Amino acid sequence: MRIKSIIAAFMCSISAAYAVEDFPNKPISIIVPASPGGTADIAARMLAEPLSKALGQPIVVENKGGAAGNIAVQHLFKSKSDGHTLLMQYSGFHLITPHFMKVNWDPIKDFTPIAQIVSAPQVLVVKKDLPVKTMKEFVDYAKANPNKLNYGSSGNGSLHHVSAELLNYTANIKTTNIPYAGAGPALTDLLAGHIDFLLTTPPPLISHIDSGAIKPLVVTASQRLASLPNVPSASEVDLPDLQISSWFSLYAQKDIPESVVQRLNTEIQKIMQDAVFQEKLKGLGADVEFVGAVELGKRAKAEFEFWGDLVKKTNLVEGK
């Protein structure tokens, strides 16, 4: 028995060594749990080119939006657990959606964290012809017109949804959720005037704000963004509880080889230290913050518990 155990351990060590030497041996897919145009999509495409060069294999970005991120997750689970299929996960889908709807996965136990790529607060933007210019005017208008204003989200349990419902709760207003397959389609309808407002991360918004196509009212942070210096923070508009940030991180299946995780971690960290890569994302209003696999796992667990407590305390689940 002891000889068999030694042989088994030896074979495992051989397999682990082979995994890192052989990875990657074919093209890699990065699944995005939303339609093109949102921050998850932007982050995945910005990472794909330098990561492809570092790993020596093509990287294809696949958009699998819908069902509050569940379509993308199921696609990941159906793929081989060898690191060639990754998920650019959005914290809203990963940590909040399970508190709003029944899913067949556990955000902590059923995934392997690889690395956090970007984080960013939300920005509340309204359609161009909405008759408000400030956050106070927005709240006053919403109170005078209960349930008249509608907002776009990536579905029930997305951070767009929870942020808007938290705004409803803290400002004592009533607005209506219109779910989409991602922030990209919601933004398209906001630009067309089909919805009234949207709370989402800055990267897809900056160019439209600069052109005057939409109006920004507040950043859900304690201070202003360098990329949006004229937009007040939540603290400045008497909404200190509306401080919400989201992150976008690479995940894989739960049983991916540790050697593959380490290889991906190493290459991604190098990419994120590049000044050009950092400036591109910072110019879009995102924070470039590398968080390794172990720390990301700890943060995700803590945030999952935080959002669960908040949803129960504020009855946000009723807002769906």
Domain spans, the chain: 24-119+246-314, 121-244
Answer whether 24-119+246-314 and 121-244 agree in fold: yes
Q: What is the pLDDT of residue 5?
A: 52
Q: What is the pLDDT of residue 19?
A: 46
Q: What is the pLDDT of residue 54?
A: 97
State the CB neighbour count (10 A cutoff) for residue 11. Answer: 10
Report the run of H or E that residue 288 belongs to, with start and end: strand 287-291
Q: What is the pLDDT of residue 13?
A: 47
Q: What is the pLDDT of residue 311?
A: 82
Measured distance CA(83)–CA(258) in Å, rounded: 10
- State the amino acid at position 134 in one-letter form: T
Can you give the pTM of this predicted structure? Answer: 0.80
- Chain centroid to Cα 274, Å, comes to 22
Q: What is the pLDDT of residue 17?
A: 44
In angstroms, what CA-CA distances link 9 with 13, 14, 141, 256, 261? Answer: 6, 9, 68, 18, 20
Q: What is the pLDDT of residue 181?
A: 84
Q: Which CATH architecture has domain 24-119+246-314?
A: 3-Layer(aba) Sandwich (3.40)
Report the run of H or E that residue 207 belongs to, with start and end: helix 206-211
Per-residue pLDDT of the chain (320 residues; tens, 9 = 90+): 555 555 554 454 444 444 456 899 999 999 999 989 888 999 999 999 999 999 999 999 999 998 889 999 999 999 999 999 999 999 989 999 898 888 999 999 999 999 999 999 999 999 999 999 999 999 999 999 999 999 999 877 788 888 999 899 899 999 999 999 888 899 999 999 999 999 999 999 999 999 999 999 999 998 899 889 999 999 999 998 898 888 999 999 999 999 999 999 999 999 999 999 998 888 888 888 899 999 999 999 999 998 888 888 777 655 44
Q: What is the pLDDT of residue 159?
A: 86
Q: Which two tokens stand for residue 221?
A: 């942070």
CATH superfamily, domain at 121-244: Periplasmic binding protein-like II (3.40.190.10)
Q: What is the pLDDT of residue 300?
A: 96
ω into residue 24 within 30 of 0, thus cis? yes
Q: What is the pLDDT of residue 288?
A: 86
Q: What is the pLDDT of residue 249?
A: 97
Coil/strand/helix, residue 120: strand
What one-character DSSP code corresponds to residue 66? Answer: -
Measured distance CA(73)–CA(248) in Å, rounded: 14
59 strand-pairing partners: 28
Q: What is the pLDDT of residue 118?
A: 92
